[in-house]
Amino acid sequence: MSNGRLHKKILQAAILCGCLFVLGCENDERVIKELTEKKTMVDEARDVTTLFSQQGVLKAKLMAPLMLRYTTDTAFIEFPKSLHVNFYNDSIKVESQLNALYGKYYESLNKVYLRDSVMVYNVKGDTLRCPELWWDQVQKKFYTDKQVRIRTIDKHIYGGQGLEAGQDFSWYIIKQPTGTVLVSGDEVPK
């Protein structure tokens, strides 16, 4: 066999192997997509009780029938079937409480979004009701730009659009009050 024929046979074999290699590397696009897409991991817990503390002092106790923790680019915890939170003072006595039918805790922001029948009340008996509320754990305050209604222990009802309030609900500011505001003496509301 001559060198020319040998080279020709080797070239033919190489081309055949190359064609088989190219055909053998074809992948199903669906399989590739499943392998490369980001997956959201969900942890589920039932009848949850969580204690929040700062420097070893109990600050809040959260209770919920269902908690879902999502591991995504921005991790968050969801409470889709209601939640109740007790807030404690430094003497570990309840100073205010919170109820909502839905909550979502953004771990990286230390903020909780609450909606659906949100109610906050303090030991004095003052009660805040609103459809949507944010709880900033770092600043220890609540805020919303939605409609709010506050009923005090002495039966006064205040309402308006938007609110900022302390986590203990000892103070609050209604951004755009509505309704009649009673003032005593020569006082003029600000």
Contacts by residues 135-144 (CB-CB < 8 Å, ≥ 24 positions apart): 135/98, 135/111, 135/167, 136/110, 136/111, 137/52, 137/110, 137/111, 137/112, 138/110, 140/166, 140/167, 140/168, 141/165, 141/166, 141/167, 142/166, 142/167, 142/169
For strands 41-54 and 57-71, give the pairing.
Answer: antiparallel
pLDDT at residue 32, rounded to an integer: 65
Q: How far apart are CA 161 and CA 151, in angstroms?
A: 15
pLDDT band at 185 (very low <50, low <70, confident <90, very high): low
Q: pLDDT digit string (tens) for 122-155?
A: 888 889 999 999 999 889 899 999 999 998 888 7
pLDDT at residue 52, rounded to an integer: 84
Q: pLDDT digit string (tens) for 51-108?
A: 988 888 888 899 999 999 998 778 899 999 999 999 898 888 999 999 999 999 998 8
pTM score over 0.85:
no
Query: For the chain, what is the mean pLDDT?
Result: 83
When pLDDT is averaged across residues 107-111 and rounded to a whole number, the result is: 89
Q: What values do phi and psi take at 91, rounded to 5?
A: -90, 10
In this structure, the chain runs to a length of 190
116 SS3 class? strand
